[in-house]
Amino acid sequence: MRYKIEHWGIHILAFMVARCCLLGMYPFVVPFFMGTYLQNQSSIGVFLALIFGVASRFDGAAVIKYSLVLMFLLVLLKGTDRSKIFASHEQIALLSGGVLWAVSMPYQYLVTGQEISVLYSLLEGIISGCAVLIFEQGFLAFRAGTGRMFADNKRFIGIFALMGAALFGCPKIEQPICLLFVIAGYLLLYHTYRFDGSIGIVTGSITGLVLAFSLGQVSYLAVMILLASLIVIMRELGKPGVLLSYLAGYILLGVLYEPELLQPAMIWSALIVLASFLLTPTVWLKQVRTRREEVTQLSQDILLQEASRERIQNFGEAFLAMEKMLLLHEEEHPQKMPEGLSNVYLSGDGISLLNVVESQSNRLMEMRRNFIRQLGQIGQVIQSFPVTVTERSMQVELFEGRVAYRFARMGMNVTKAVLVKDAEGRKKVYLSCYLEKDRVVTGRQMAAALRGIVGKEMVCMDREDDAVSRRESHFCFTEAAQYMLTTGIVRKNRNGEALCGDNFSVIRLDNGKAVLMISDGMGSGESACMKSEQVVDLLEQLLRAGFGRELAIELLNSFISFLDDGNMSSTLDLTVLDLYSGMTDFVKLGASTTFIRRKDRVECIRSTSLPVGVLEQVEFDTCERKLYHGDIIVMVSDGVLDGILFENKETYLAELIADLDTNNVQKMAEMIMQEVVSMQRGQMRDDSTVLVAGVWER
């Protein structure tokens, strides 16, 4: 509804501004259209409204003149590269004034034949060029929302410049009512009631000045300023107080100061002003506290810092997890000399001693190279932490105002809102708000409301079912992914063990990727469980902190290798699915085969690499596949394949997966594990894990 009113309001404003005539010229036609052009609000409708406004003054030559100027400007701007030419608003303003002067000068001289017409045309060009920048700020203020309409002096001047030009162009209807006085009076009531008292006083000054010039009575300037002052005093009493103060002030000024106010036409005009204000919906008259630009910018900075804080926190937690693992390892394995070194030294075998020292030196050198290379990559990750605003002119200035207006209808007060783009170019919205009315508003409902503003289907991150409270809280929204994931998991311990040596994880990252992993610790029971758990937890922390897949695995491998000289190894089976595109990376370090079930076939993805921590320089198998709706991923640990008694274990399991007559991923995982258990007659020879994930379109 608001945007429809804004749309029609611009056309009405265009008509009135175009009628503003100065020395036989219409200097605000071009600035108005170019101001809407700079704010992406120009249209054929605005063009026609402007031309119709000029035509209503019965000046056919001016209609032709300004039509040609506007069409020439549009063709010129559309046919040039705006990134190189006319990139700034000042250049466009200069171009507008120059083109108007070039067209007006010969026209004025040929029509009037007077040399002063050349000076008039130069004056029109200067006024037009300056007014482009002023009007553009006015349109920016309209789009920024009521709370930021007067956020700085440039918007303040732009709003009142547009208002003054429109009032000067108001049709001269004085019987049976004075149309100009009706519009001026309503603007006075509206601005003084909704905004700060200073806005009301300025509105009174501008409307009074226009009335004084148009009606030939200087006293109207004082009348409007005095009425504004009375309304400012009584505005705290609400709408009744404002109406009473306007009516009382009007009568007193008519009796004591300006008798013309008591003429029938003026009295009817004043009554229409009162009736119009009285019938204005309350939602349109909600009092607004103007937020200054420096406060608005500070709010944006705070929200951006909060948006970056979570990534920085995850980054720190990853290194804290490494520290915890190191401390635990130091407690369990006190520092000692390399195994056998003391015996070699005592035996006097110099060659063997040299070989041991050289081996340790080479290992330290390899770790040093890895450290140097990974340190630079860590720096790149840290540099990516700050969140930046996209297209500041739209997002900071306008986006928050539109969100605040939309959510106010849901009973919420938006204190901060910012729209950003991530590394993949996807839109994210960070929002700070609290509830004003007794309603239940969830993150899911807020995401649906944002769709009409952002133009994309949005989802609430982590708080979709949380309700907005009366205390200020923060929400994050991102573009909805094309795919969703369902998962099923079944684990079985080795016979006689209390704990399973396998560990798994299923997480969704902030970049819209889903991560599935299985780690099989060396051996079984508690020791294997601890090793695989460390691998899964640390990799999960690194990925959440923003590390890329390769760097996270390299850091993980270097760390595990450093802990126990390559003796602490665990397999890693990693699947990374982009939920927006369906592209999936399969990474394997000594892991078992992964199966992808499509409509009529099953694909096997195998591994030939060593587990994590065996070598200082990590080597892993990786491949990429595009997944579609209905595709099923089956990840298994070594214990599942080893538990199959047939010689060709992978072929048997692939056929079993293909024959499963269900798309329920949990049921599929249970059926696969049941087959493995039955083959071993319930006596599991190794820890076994089956992780099944289904890919579905939303």
Domain assignments of the chain as residue spans, ordered by start = 1-155, 170-285, 292-313+388-480, 483-532+564-697
Q: Of 351-355, 407-411, 458-462, 642-646, which gets the smallest average pLDDT?
A: 351-355
Q: What's the maximum distance between 2 C-alpha atoms anywhere in the chain? A: 124
Mean pLDDT over 200-220 rounds to 91
**Model pLDDT, residue 695:** 94
Measured between alpha carbons, how far is 14 from 33 in angstroms, rounded to an integer? Answer: 8
Q: What is the pLDDT of residues 614-672, one digit of tens each?
A: 454 556 667 889 999 999 999 998 888 888 888 888 899 999 999 898 899 999 999 99
For residues 158-176, average pLDDT: 89
Distance from C-alpha of 412 to C-alpha of 294, rounded to nearest angstrom: 23
Per-residue model confidence (pLDDT) at position 3: 54
Picking from 613, 636, 590, 488, the residue whose alpha carbon sits closest to that of residue 538 is 613
More confident residue, 147 or 508: 508
Mean pLDDT along residues 568-577: 83
- What is the reported pTM? 0.61
Give 579's pLDDT tier (boundaries 50, 70, 90): very high
Higher local confidence (pLDDT), 472 or 384 = 472
Across 121-125, 237-241, 412-416, 582-586, which has the greatest mean pLDDT?
A: 582-586
* Partners of 570 in the β-ladder: 521, 612
Query: Residue 391 — pLDDT band, cuts 50, 70, 90?
Result: very low
Three-state SS sequence of 61-100: HHHHHHHHHHHHHHHHHHCCCCCCCCCCHHHHHHHHHHHH
pLDDT tens, position by position, 350-382: 565 566 556 666 656 665 665 655 566 566 666
Tell me which of 454 and 607 has the higher pLDDT: 454
Q: 610: which DSSP letter? A: P
Which run of H or E residues covers position 566?
A: none
Is pLDDT above 60 for 343? no
pLDDT on residue 392? 44
What is d(CA 189, CA 239) in angstroms, rounded to the nearest whole number? 10
**CA-to-CA dists, residue 288 to 6, 13, 391, 405, angstroms:** 18, 23, 26, 11
pLDDT of residue 345: 53
Percentage of residues of the chain with pLDDT beyond 70: 77
Q: Give residue 427's pLDDT.
A: 84
Q: Region 454-465: what's the mean pLDDT?
A: 85
Nearest to 415 by CA among 472, 469, 467, 363: 472
Task: Check whether 612 has a pLDDT greater than 60.
Answer: no
What CA–CA distance (Å, rounded) separates 92 from 90?
5
| Average pLDDT score over the chain | 80
Amino acid 670: pLDDT: 93
pLDDT recorded at residue 378 = 66
Q: Which residue has the tokens 């065996």?
A: 614
Q: Which residues contact 528 (CB under 8 A, 6 or more apart)?
A: 501, 502, 520, 521, 522, 570, 687
* Whether the predicted pLDDT of 1 surpasses 70: no
CATH class of 483-532+564-697: alpha beta
Residue 558 has pLDDT above 80, yes or no: no
- Lookup: tokens for 272: 């229409």
Give yes or no for residue 170 having a pLDDT over 80. Answer: yes
Mean pLDDT of 318-337: 64
Place of tokens 């003084």: 192
Percent of the chain with pLDDT over 90: 23
Residue 571: beta bridge partners? Answer: 520
Q: What pLDDT is recorded for position 389?
A: 46
The CA distances from residue 316 to 546, 673, 695, in Å, are 11, 38, 32
Least confident segment among 358-367, 478-487, 506-515: 358-367
The CA distance from 300 to 417, in Å, is 7
pLDDT of residue 295: 44
Helix (H, G, I), strand (E, B) or coil at 673: helix
**Distance (Å, rounded) from C-alpha 372 to C-alpha 363?**
14
Cis peptide upstream of residue 176 (ω within 30 degrees of 0): yes
pLDDT tens, residue by residue, 58-91: 778 888 888 888 888 888 777 666 555 666 778 8
Q: Which residue has the higher pLDDT, 380 or 27?
A: 27
Distance separating alpha carbons of residues 677 and 656, to the nearest angstrom: 14
Mean pLDDT of 84-110: 75
Structure tokens at 86: 């006319």
